[in-house]
Amino acid sequence: MEGTKMKKILYIIMMLATATVMSARPSQGKSFYFAYIAHDESTYVDDVMANIQARYDRAMEDENYVMVVYMSNGDSPFIVQVNTAKDNRADFAKLKDVLGARNSHAVYPEEDLEKIVDLFNEVDFVNGQDNSISYRSADWHFHLTSGFLRNGYGESLISKLAFVMGVEHFSTENFRIRYYFSSYDVLEYDHEYPFGRRNYSNLEFTPHYY
């Protein structure tokens, strides 16, 4: 099983390498915002939406602000893009209803990893010349739950995503990652190994609360 997972990671890396070499559309004058949402009964939907709404409003006003929102939902994630080739901004109005429709939505970390890497390739996130980000600035915001960490998804999704995308090559001057949790959630995690013992990209973990 572990060998199969590693083969899948290597396949994703190969796909990413191919895409970045072929990329000829760097977005140096643009900013990039990515939001990932995993939620359960502890999530206060209004807080999540308020956080993302501010970015959506900015994207609506500034065509150089690229926005991708990914809500995990098993094999049918809910995705909203603004100022991309697959812009579907009208669907943003449905996000709150989709979030509130159920107490939780399933997280499939391996499928999410593959789909998110594909999304990043589509928006030319990585500059194939030097493995830096193609954007003037980039923010990844993960809206999570204690259950997400408890189930090991910090390692199987976030840490692996950072590894595949080559986060170690990115400058902290224009790239930031934040992790958000509801103040109603009881956050339990291994403070020494929040992303598991195989922290593929040595990510730092500082929780932010709504």
Query: Per residue in 164-186, pLDDT tens?
Result: 999 988 998 999 999 999 988 98
The yes-or-no verdict on residue 24 having pLDDT over 90 is no
55: confidence class by pLDDT, cuts 50, 70, 90: very high
Q: Can you say how many angstroms the Cα of residue 69 is from the centroid of all Cα atoms in its chain?
A: 8
Distance CA 196, CA 163 (A): 14
- CA distances 75 to 72, 84, 152, Å, are 8, 23, 19
The pLDDT score that the predictor gives to residue 16 is 52
The model scores a pTM over 0.85? yes
The pLDDT score that the predictor gives to residue 114 is 97
Instruction: List Cβ<8 Å contacts ≥24 apart for 43-50.
Output: 43/99, 43/104, 43/143, 43/145, 43/182, 43/185, 44/182, 44/183, 44/184, 44/210, 45/96, 45/99, 45/100, 47/182, 47/210, 48/99, 48/143, 48/180, 48/210, 49/95, 49/96, 49/99, 50/210
Distance CA 94, CA 104 (A): 16
- CA distances 82 to 61, 141, 176, Å, are 11, 16, 20
Tens digit of pLDDT for each residue in 143-167? 999 999 999 999 999 999 999 999 9
Tens digit of pLDDT for each residue in 88-144? 999 999 999 999 888 899 999 999 999 999 999 999 999 988 889 999 999 999 999
The pLDDT score that the predictor gives to residue 201 is 74
The pLDDT score that the predictor gives to residue 126 is 94
The pLDDT score that the predictor gives to residue 4 is 56
List beta partners, residue 176: 139
